[in-house]
């Protein structure tokens, strides 16, 4: 029985000779956008046969070069009796998700930035209440008595009940002689009741934080009664198959049924992650009574089913920046249906709630006099610069390269991902470490940065990212105009082929780093500040376990500033969201941040293209900004190798 392995997910399916490849893809839950219905004319289901032999008659639709590279149309292809490795190109497949312990993530922040004194004050609270039993002729209904008791115990706000809670109130109030636990959201004017339970259940109260990235989605579960995060689950955003970046998603959503498709896809990802984490942590869905969701403005529009088109069209005005009170039921999130979904406020079309949440993990959320810089490296890069006097943000499109997207062997920071690479100066071959010390199956963001820095320092690539064809190096293979660097040969790989990076992919990465670096330059320039004036530089993003800042500087992704100025804070959006879940004060802090932040549109700055072009070298063309590669090599030889 032939075994078909799909990359980059690594998913394996047992097949039979003669099986349609398209059927196997569906079986593996890899969805491609087939438009021609299997005629082989739309070219949407093109995949690459990395190894093995298949029987395909789709070659007419593909270029000679594509055919020689192993590309075929899945819809015109049958399996033979051989094993095969099939790679889905230009796509980040929906790989196996992982549930991680929170410790790693929080460690990045907790030392001094994570507030040492958390005022325990969660958005959703559980209160034990003693409701008087019904009395004859007092003229009070069950809900009247409940409302009066809440107001007597906790102050005279309006109490708002959903029908589902009212429906079970009569029984619950009578169950334990009137002792009930009420779950509610405290708003300035109102108490929103989320649930009622008989007796004292105040110990069981959970909430989730959700970071909705264009490429990666993460869900973090917290025990609200203990103010403790208890697990994180991450996966690729299932919308990826409809476009790798924000603009292509907006374009895809141009018909109502496709907007609905995108909404269902992101809902599917989030609900799948929730299911995964509550199963491993043994928490019931109905016990999750609150959620904080943070994402860029487009992702929030897509999740709510709002037409994102006007974000892309001048004057780039979104439908909303602050989401009103909506329940899990309204949106389709699979927790207690009456749970409140609090959305981190967005600042503009391209600076979203992920940024206002992430800033909570930095000194930018404090009354600091010092000027601080926040760089969120994702599919969109967002930069925030400010202190207690001013707060300015901008955004740039970097693409998903640093999250493993758009790179054939790229992957999320999950088990088996190469997260660190060293290049042997003599042979030019790579040594690497992987997450979980597993056999390597791909390379994640930190691995990519580490790889490029080391390729540069060992002369395997030049500052423009061209592989050195002159030097004798078994890892570099050239075919026509195309060159490729092999990180892991096929025989050492955990997938069925070698793990490689092409020159074209290296160029992609350089473009991504150039976009982010030039945005940093421009925002400082516009405010007439130099990087030397900046006290702290926070780097956020889901690269991997850690980011080697020296490597990031070597490739010119981040400014050439002393290492002690930098702090890598990982998925700050997720951590910030969990902080809000546990403390109302952080919500208020975040609203203040969002209100005082201004947004600069880089596309209107005429010098942006110059800045960007100048940054398309590693580290940079301007040697007043970065040392030259030669200087870097000297420098690196002096400091002990990274640990």
What residues make contact with a copy of itself under the rule CB under 8 A?
A: 134-137, 139-144, 158, 160-161, 163, 166-167, 169-171, 174, 189, 304-307, 309-310, 314-322, 324-326, 330-331, 347-348, 598-599, 601
Q: Between residues 37 and 315, which has the closer beta carbon with respect to a copy of itself?
A: 315
Q: CB-based contacts of 176: which residues, under 8 Å, 6+ apart? A: 198, 199
Q: Between residues 71 and 252, which has the closer beta carbon with respect to a copy of itself?
A: 252
Cis ω for the linkage preceding 619 (within 30 of 0): yes
8 A C-beta contact, residue 597 and residue 356: yes
Nearest distance, CB of residue 116 and a copy of itself, angstroms: 33
Write down how long the chain is. Answer: 643
Question: Residue 377: phi, psi to the nearest 5?
Answer: -95, 105
**CA torsion 177→179→182→188, rounded to 10°?**
110
Q: Between residues 59 and 310, which has the closer beta carbon with respect to a copy of itself?
A: 310
Nearest distance, CB of residue 347 and a copy of itself, angstroms: 7
Q: From CA 130, how far away is CA 135, in angstroms rounded?
A: 15
Q: Which residues pair with 84 in a beta bridge?
A: 4, 52
Nearest distance, CB of residue 305 and a copy of itself, angstroms: 6
SS (H, E, C) 382-409: EEEEECCCCEEEEEEECCCHHHCCCCCC
Q: From CA 146, how far away is CA 117, in angstroms rounded?
A: 34
Q: Between residues 308 and 556, which has the closer beta carbon with respect to a copy of itself?
A: 308
Nearest distance, CB of residue 318 and a copy of itself, angstroms: 5
8 A C-beta contact, residue 283 and residue 339: no
Q: What tokens were used for 400? A: 């998903």
- CA gyration radius for the chain? 26
Q: What tokens were used for 337? A: 């249906």
Name the pairing type of β-strands 430-434 and 417-423: antiparallel
Nearest distance, CB of residue 46 and a copy of itself, angstroms: 35
Nearest distance, CB of residue 350 and a copy of itself, angstroms: 12
Q: Is the dihedral of CA 624, 625, 631, 637 positive or negative?
A: positive
Q: Between residues 116 and 137, which has the closer beta carbon with respect to a copy of itself?
A: 137
Question: Residue 447: phi, psi to the nearest 5?
Answer: -65, -40
Q: Name the nearest CA neighbour of 635 among 551, 566, 569.
A: 551
Q: From CA 580, how far away is CA 360, in angstroms rounded?
A: 9
Q: Which spans in 421-567 are helix H? A: 445-457, 503-526, 549-554
Q: CB-based contacts of 279: which residues, under 8 Å, 6+ apart? A: none
Q: Which residues pair with 502 in a beta bridge?
A: 484
Nearest distance, CB of residue 146 and a copy of itself, angstroms: 10
Nearest distance, CB of residue 352 and a copy of itself, angstroms: 12
Nearest distance, CB of residue 331 and a copy of itself, angstroms: 7
Nearest distance, CB of residue 363 and a copy of itself, angstroms: 24
Q: Between residues 383 and 501, which has the closer beta carbon with respect to a copy of itself?
A: 383
Q: Between residues 137 and 437, which has the closer beta carbon with respect to a copy of itself?
A: 137
Nearest distance, CB of residue 249 and a copy of itself, angstroms: 16
Q: Between residues 469 and 592, which has the closer beta carbon with respect to a copy of itself?
A: 592
Residue in the structure block whose two tokens are 């008087």: 132
Q: Between residues 153 and 171, which has the closer beta carbon with respect to a copy of itself?
A: 171
Q: Between residues 11 and 263, which has the closer beta carbon with respect to a copy of itself?
A: 263
Q: Between residues 26 and 174, which has the closer beta carbon with respect to a copy of itself?
A: 174
3-state secondary structure of 306: coil
Angle at CA of residue 452, ends 449 and 453, nearest 5°: 85
């Amino acid at each position: 029985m032939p075994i078909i392995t799909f990359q980059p997910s690594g998913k394996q399916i047992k097949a039979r000779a003669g099986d349609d490849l398209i059927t196997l893809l569906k079986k593996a839950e890899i969805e491609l956008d087939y438009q021609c219905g299997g005629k082989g004319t739309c070219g949407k289901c093109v995949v690459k046969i990395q190894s093995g032999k298949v029987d395909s008659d789709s070659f007419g639709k593909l270029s000679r070069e594509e055919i020689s590279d192993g590309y075929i149309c899945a819809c015109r292809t049958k399996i033979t009796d051989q094993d095969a490795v099939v790679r889905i190109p230009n796509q980040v497949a929906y790989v196996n998700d992982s549930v991680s312990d929170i410790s790693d993530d929080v460690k990045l922040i907790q030392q001094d930035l994570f507030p040492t004194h958390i005022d325990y004050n969660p958005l959703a609270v559980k209160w034990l209440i003693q409701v008087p039993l019904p009395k004859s002729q007092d003229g009070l209904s069950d809900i009247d008595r409940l409302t009066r008791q809440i107001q007597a115990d906790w102050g005279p706000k309006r109490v708002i009940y959903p029908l589902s809670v009212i429906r079970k109130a009569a029984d619950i109030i009578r169950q334990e002689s009137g002792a009930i636990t009420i779950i509610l959201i405290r708003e300035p004017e109102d108490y929103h009741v989320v649930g009622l339970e008989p007796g004292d259940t105040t110990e069981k109260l959970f909430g989730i934080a959700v970071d909705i990235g264009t490429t990666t989605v993460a869900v973090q579960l917290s025990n609200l009664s203990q103010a403790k995060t208890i697990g994180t689950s991450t996966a690729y955003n299932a919308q990826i198959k409809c476009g790798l970046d924000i603009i292509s998603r907006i374009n895809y959503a141009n018909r109502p049924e496709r907007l609905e498709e995108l909404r269902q896809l992101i809902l599917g990802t989030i609900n799948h992650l929730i299911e995964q984490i509550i199963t491993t942590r043994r928490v019931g869905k109905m016990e999750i009574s609150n959620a904080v969701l943070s994402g860029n403005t487009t992702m929030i529009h897509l999740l709510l089913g709002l037409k994102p088109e006007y974000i892309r069209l001048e004057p780039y005005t979104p439908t909303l920046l602050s989401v009103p009170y909506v329940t899990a039921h309204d949106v389709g999130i699979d927790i207690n249906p009456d749970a409140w979904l609090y959305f981190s406020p967005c600042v503009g079309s391209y600076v979203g709630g992920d940024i206002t949440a992430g800033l909570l993990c930095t000194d930018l959320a404090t009354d600091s006099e010092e000027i601080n810089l926040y760089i969120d490296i994702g599919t969109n890069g967002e930069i925030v610069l400010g202190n207690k006097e001013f707060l300015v943000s901008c955004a740039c499109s970097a693409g998903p390269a640093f999250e493993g997207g758009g790179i054939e062997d790229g992957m999320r920071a999950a088990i088996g991902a190469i997260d660190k690479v060293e290049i042997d100066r003599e042979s030019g071959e790579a040594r690497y470490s992987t997450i979980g010390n597993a056999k390597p199956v791909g390379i994640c963001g930190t691995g990519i940065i580490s790889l490029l820095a080391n390729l540069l320092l060992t002369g395997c690539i030049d500052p423009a990212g061209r592989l050195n064809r002159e030097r004798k190096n078994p890892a570099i293979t050239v075919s026509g105009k195309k060159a490729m660097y092999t990180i892991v040969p096929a025989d050492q790989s955990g997938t069925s082929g070698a793990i490689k990076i092409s020159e074209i992919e290296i160029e992609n990465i350089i473009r991504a780093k150039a976009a982010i670096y030039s945005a940093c330059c421009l925002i400082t320039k516009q405010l007439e500040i130099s990087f030397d004036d900046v006290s702290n530089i926070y780097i956020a993003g889901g690269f991997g376990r850690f980011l080697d800042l020296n490597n990031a500087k070597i490739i010119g992704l981040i400014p050439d500033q002393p290492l002690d100025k930098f702090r890598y804070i990982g998925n700050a959006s997720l951590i910030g969201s969990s902080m809000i879940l546990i403390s109302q004060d952080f919500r208020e802090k975040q609203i203040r941040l969002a209100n005082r932040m201004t947004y600069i549109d880089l596309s209107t700055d005429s010098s942006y293209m110059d800045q960007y072009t100048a940054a398309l070298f590693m580290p940079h063309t301007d040697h007043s900004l970065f040392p030259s590669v030669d200087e870097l090599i000297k420098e690196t030889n002096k400091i002990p190798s990274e640990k």
